[in-house]
Structure 1
Amino acid sequence: MCRTVGVVMMLACAGCALARVLPSTSSVHTTRDARILKAARAAQTEPILQLREVDRDKFPDIPDYVFQNTPSLSQKYLTTLVPPPPSFHQWFRPSFNTVLHRQFMLSTRVGLNWKVFPNRRWTNATVPFVISRHYLPAEREMIERAIATLNFMTCIKFIPWDGEAEDYLIIWPVEEPAGCWSYVGKRGGQQVVSLQPPDSRSNRCFISLGKPIHELLHALGIFHEQARADRDNHVTIITRNIIPDYYHNFGKQGEENTTFPFDYDYDSVMHYGKNFFSYSKNLPTIVPKVENATIGQRIMLSKLDCIKLNDLYGCLDDADDREKYTSFCKYLGL
């Protein structure tokens, strides 16, 4: 009885804390004139970092498609630090439809195996970060909400870079190749997460909170859900509908490279949508084998995303922490 009351009070406190750090997304999804946006960005004084070629020799066991369109940056240091996130408003109601069970922890794999790649894990579950000053306030706000979400729902701590830490993330509107992309796991040194800003055609990487969360999960060591070795048991890839230049995006990971004893998760924020990289929105590239299953949500961590991440970084090792973070995942994940 006491334990039940404790969990309820903890979740009540969780709701209050989320109300302080997670704002409404309505102010972010606005259409802006391209000329105004270009002028605002031109007014920034921060230099754009230069790109160099990826050194694939450092990671011979990782397939080439993991590195596709993910160039590294030259080692420059920024002279300004990231200010603390502002106070935010609540942005969603938790879903109570799914009950979390230990049954989810089965036999398949979706994250980097630290035994094979020990240096790819962020030390002490701590990730120093810098957010580029090229982002406009609404864009920066969404990035900070994504970081606040991960800080709250897991034991992983994103902290502003102090200018001294050797390994850190730099969240940057990379111009070439533009897009939403990240390395998988820690690479060492300055590591880019590219989030393309909105333009006159689209909100790009800021269409929803799940987009920056998706890329940050890559940086923490999480692969795409449909890259699992067992994915063909759960989805069918329609190769004839995939634009040939993007075949590599549908590769699978070998079991020896990855780990995670969890069920396949159609609800994962890391899962591609049904027509990703298709010739047409009417031509699916991925079809779930479960009737009426939906894929490709970019709203929030799913319950299993949350548990996977906590498990990957040892947040569930202690009994009290396990109860806390499992409760957060159960009630706050999608």
Structure 2
Amino acid sequence: MSSIHLCLISVSDEGLSNITLSDEETMDPELSPGLFQGDMALTNDFYNFWRVGLKFDIFPDKLWKNGVVPYTISPLYEPSELVTILKAIKLINFMSCVRLVPWDGNAKDYLLIWPIKYPKGCWSFVGRYGGAQILSLQPPDNKGPNCLGTEGRAIHELMHALGVFHEQSRWDRDKFVKIHMDNIIPQFKANFDKQSLDNTTYSFEYDYDSIMHYGRFFFSKKKGKPTITPKQPNVKGIGQRKAMSKGDCMKLNDLYGCYKTPAKRRKYYNICNFMGL
């Protein structure tokens, strides 16, 4: 898939094959592509702005127009895998005013959900890229469930496609987590960069439970060595790939203007509080 301009691959396939990740028997499919922060493909211009932090009012074209996201799903998926993907889509549609809708064959911009082989894994472009936009979800194999054990990883990548970055990249993250740089695989240290306060704002508190947060051992160079740990007391775990947290849900609704009327604000706040982890 080199023709779709995966311009930020920083580690060769050969280099990746020699890496063993912490608690995992095999490489996590969200990390394996070697893209920006493991699972994001960005254009050069987008990446340059990201390096100093990014506001979507700088790139308004990266948000999907009117919150409508056409999609089509590869026929290569097994029925059970298709059900998992559709469940992720239905949950996002229910918990936000974003509307992921089947592609009608005419819309210029749409998500192409496909089990990409090169680079394989779970990955997405960030926001609306334009045209047929790949979102890769690797199906289960004899080594494990990969991206489709549950709907959680599909939701994570769909959130990227909607324009949401990783939670631990926030400018204020150092108040909430400690990054153990000595434990990180050297090639991936840049994946723990954070955004600039000058160009980013947040309406919600730091979210340890976010589906967009790294886990404790992501990119660890040795089993049992954490790369990221919480600073706040009574935080048992960080990151998960089960479902949107309350914060994820509220952030997505805020990003797409779902709170424009008091009635909609009440509706989506209640949904986020009731259904979010």
If the TM-score is normalised by the length of the shorter chain, which range does it land in? 0.7 to 0.9
1:177 Cα deviation after fit? 0.9
- Relative to the length of structure 1, the TM-score reads 0.68
Match of 1:309 among 219, 232, 252: 252
In terms of mean alpha carbon deviation, does 52-61 or 276-285 score higher?
52-61
Is the Cα–Cα contact under 8 Å of residues 113 and 256 in structure 1 kept in the other structure?
Answer: no
Is the Cα–Cα contact under 8 Å of residues 116 and 257 in structure 1 kept in the other structure?
Answer: no
Are positions 1:267 and 2:209 aligned together?
yes
In terms of mean alpha carbon deviation, does 258-267 or 163-172 score higher?
258-267
Residue 180 of structure 1 aligns to which amino acid in structure 2?
A: C
Match of 1:296 among 239, 251, 254: 239
Alignment RMSD, CA only?
Answer: 2.1
Match of 1:144 among 81, 86, 95: 86
1:58 Cα deviation after fit? 3.8
1:137-166 per-position Cα deviation (integer Å, ceiling 9, x unaligned): 111111100000000010000000111111
User: What SS class does the counterpart of residue 236 from structure 1 fall into?
Assistant: strand
Residue 248 of structure 2 aligns to which amino acid in structure 1?
A: D
Q: Which residue of 2 aligns with 1:220?
A: 162
- Relative to the length of structure 2, the TM-score reads 0.82
Residue 329 of structure 1 aligns to which amino acid in structure 2?
A: C
Distance across 2 between alignment mates of 1:260 and 1:213: 21
Distance across 2 between alignment mates of 1:261 and 1:152: 22
Are positions 1:113 and 2:55 aligned together?
yes
1:268 Cα deviation after fit? 0.5
Q: Which residue of 1 aligns with 2:46?
A: 59
Is the Cα–Cα contact under 8 Å of residues 5 and 43 in structure 2 kept in the other structure?
Answer: no
1:184-224 per-position Cα deviation (integer Å, ceiling 9, x unaligned): 11111111111111111111112332111000001111010
Match of 2:112 among 170, 173, 184: 170
Are positions 1:183 and 2:170 aligned together?
no
1:61 Cα deviation after fit? 3.3
Are positions 1:238 and 2:225 aligned together?
no
1:280 Cα deviation after fit? 3.2
> Residues 259 and 132 (structure 1 numbering): CA distance in 2 closer, same or farther, change over 3 Å?
farther
Q: Which residue of 2 aligns with 1:9?
A: none
1:257 Cα deviation after fit? 4.3
Q: How many residues align?
A: 242
Distance across 1 between alignment mates of 2:74 and 2:198: 36
Percent identity, aligned pairs only? 50
Are positions 1:282 and 2:193 aligned together?
no
Q: Which runs of 4+ in 1 moved over 2 A?
A: 48-64, 254-260
User: What SS class does the counterpart of residue 259 from structure 1 fall into?
Assistant: coil
Residue 148 of structure 1 aligns to which amino acid in structure 2?
A: K
1:120 Cα deviation after fit? 0.6
Match of 2:75 among 126, 133, 151: 133
1:32-52 per-position Cα deviation (integer Å, ceiling 9, x unaligned): xxxxxxxxxxxxxxxx99654
Distance across 2 between alignment mates of 1:259 and 1:161: 33
Match of 1:160 among 102, 107, 115: 102
Distance across 2 between alignment mates of 1:123 and 1:259: 22
Structure exhibiting the larger radius of gyration computed from Cα positions = 1
Which blocks of at least 5 consecutive residues in structure 1 are unaligned?
1-47, 67-111
1:6-17 equivalences under 5 Å are none
1:5-26 per-position Cα deviation (integer Å, ceiling 9, x unaligned): xxxxxxxxxxxxxxxxxxxxxx
Match of 2:147 among 202, 205, 213: 205
> Residues 138 and 299 (structure 1 numbering): CA distance in 2 closer, same or farther, change over 3 Å?
same
Q: Which residue of 2 aligns with 1:328?
A: 271
Residue 115 of structure 2 aligns to which amino acid in structure 1?
A: P
Distance across 2 between alignment mates of 1:235 and 1:241: 15
